[in-house]
Amino acid sequence: LDAKLRVEMRTEMKLMHQRLKTTTVYVTHDQIEAMTLGDKVAVMKDGIIQQFGTPKDIYNNPANLFVASFIGSPPMNFIPLRLQRKEGRLVALLDSGQARCELPLGMQDAGLEDREVILGLRPEQIVLAGSEPNGLPTIRAEVQVTEPTGPDTLVFVNLNDTKVCCRLAPDVAPAVGETLTLQFDPSKVLLFDAKTGERLGVAGLPKTEAHAANVAQFKGR
């Protein structure tokens, strides 16, 4: 089906499901369909359930890199780095060390020091810095590509030798090669183990218990 018809059919299917009030299992490779149609979503890879939960929970709290990369359009940004301790605080250094992201308090004593991780950040969580300082990490990055979509503008920049997507306001139209000053809230940062891809919790360990409980709940249905 073409894109417009797919959207129309998606709406009709949801209306029909609400009207009939029947349990329905819908299999799709389209994550937008899964997010908009499902009350609960099971994300699978190679026949194995990676995560089971509400669309909102899976979007905000992905269990691993696969789920984080699959759910969301544009997908989550992933920035490989090594955590370091500076002045007694555990930090992630960005922009060739010029920007310092101090991790939330719950991660300060989580056994993550000198560990290779992947920092995850959604495009909508990166914003243009205002004129007044607000204490958030500030990053200067060069614009590589812009994609106006109507309701917003997708701006791709280079950060730590990684292409990073920012979802900015529709009236923002930076030129290619222009340097932007960007900010993000460190409390929104997600960390993943660079070797296993598992999400790291506030204790510095993969969230295996919550993941196992979700899978058990799904299998028990």
- Burial classification of residue 36, based on how many CB atoms lie within 10 Å of its CB (0-12 exposed, 13-18 middle, 19 or more buried): middle
- CB 200: neighbour CB atoms within 10 A? 21
Mean pLDDT of all residues belonging to the chain:
83
Find the range with the poorest average confidence among 29-38, 81-90, 179-188, 200-209: 200-209
pTM confidence score: 0.80
Which phi and psi (to 5°) does residue 58 adopt?
-65, -35
Find the range with the poorest average confidence among 36-40, 90-94, 194-198: 90-94
In this structure, which amino acid lies at residue 176?
V
Query: CA gyration radius for the chain?
Result: 19
pLDDT band at 196 (very low <50, low <70, confident <90, very high): very high
pLDDT band at 75 (very low <50, low <70, confident <90, very high): very high
Percent of the chain, pLDDT > 90?
A: 40
Measure Cα distances from 102 to 60, 117, 137 in Å. 20, 14, 8
Q: Which residues contact 193 (CB under 8 A, 6 or more apart)?
A: 117, 118, 200, 206
Residue 108, pLDDT score: 58
Spell out the domains of the chain, with CATH numbers in brackets: 1-71 (3.40.50.300), 75-204 (2.40.50.140)
